[in-house]
Amino acid sequence: MSDKDRILEHEYDGIKEYDNPMPRWWVITFWATIIYSAIYLVVVGGMGTGQGNVDEYEADMTAWRAAYPQDGGPVDVAGILAMSSDTEALEEGNEVYTKYCAACHAADGGGMIGPNLTDDAWIHGGTVEQIHQVIAEGVLAKGMPAWGKMLSPEQVDQVTAYVWSLAGSTPAAPKAPEGEQVTR
C-alpha cells in the first residue's frame, strides 16, 4: 500500500486526511481491555460461575458473624470463674473497673449511684450469667450503661470476674443491700 492509497477521500479547505493507523501496542491494549471486561463480568460480576461482589460480601459477613457473635455468644461461666481466682485476669478486671465502674459503684464496690456489688443482694440476680448480662446489656432505664457496646468481650468477662471476686469484701461505706439475697 503506497502512501497515496492511504490518503482518505475527503478534503476540507484544502486539508486532506492521512489514514494513520493506531500503533499496534495501542490496538492490542484496546482489544485486551474488551476481552478482560467480558471475563470480569463472568468471573467477578456475578453473571457466570464466579461469586460476584454481593455474594462474596455476604459470605464474608456470614463468616464474620460466626466468628464474632453479636450477642456475645454463650457466657463462658467456667472461664469467668477461673479468671476470678487468677491474679493476672483480676488485675485486668480491676483496671477496667477502676476506669469505667468506680464512678458509680465506688472504688471498692460499696456502691454510690449504682448498687453495692460486694454484698449478696442482687437486683438482677447473682449468678455469673446474670451479672455478665447486666454488665453487657446494662439497665438503661436505671442508669446502668450497656458495657458490651463499649468494652471488648474479653474486658466484659474480666470485669465480670472482678465483680464476682468482690463478694464478701468489706467496703469503706457500703450501700444498703438492694434486691434479693442470693446464696452462692
Tell me which stretch binds ligand HEC (CB under 6 A): 5-13, 49-57, 70-78, 143-151: 143-151
Mark residue 77 as left, alpha or beta (left: phi above 0; alpha: psi -120 to 50; beta: remaining): alpha
How far is Cα 132 from Cα 157, in angstroms, rounded to an integer? 7
| Run of H or E residues at 27 | helix 24-43
Stretch that binds ligand HEC, among 5-13, 37-45, 83-91, 130-138 (CB under 6 A): 130-138
Contacts of 20 (CB under 8 A, 6+ apart): 6
Residues 4-33 that bind ligand HEC (CB under 6 A): none
131 binds ligand HEC (CB under 6 A): yes
75 versus 101: smaller Cβ distance to ligand HEC: 101
Which of residues 90, 92, 105, 106 is near ligand HEC by CB under 6 A? 105
When the beta carbons of 7 and 113 are compared against ligand HEC, the nearer one is 113
Buried b (16+ CB within 10 A) or exposed e, 152-169: eeebbbbbbbbbbbbeee
The residue within the footprint of ligand HEC, chosen from 147, 148, 165, 171 (CB under 6 A), is 147
Binding mask 152-181 for ligand HEC (x = CB under 6 A): -------x---x--------------xx--
Report the C-alpha gap between 123 and 57 in whole angstroms: 43
**Residue 142 C-beta: closest distance to ligand HEC, Å:** 4
Tell me the CA distances in angstroms from 182 to 114, 130, 139, one per residue in order.
18, 12, 20
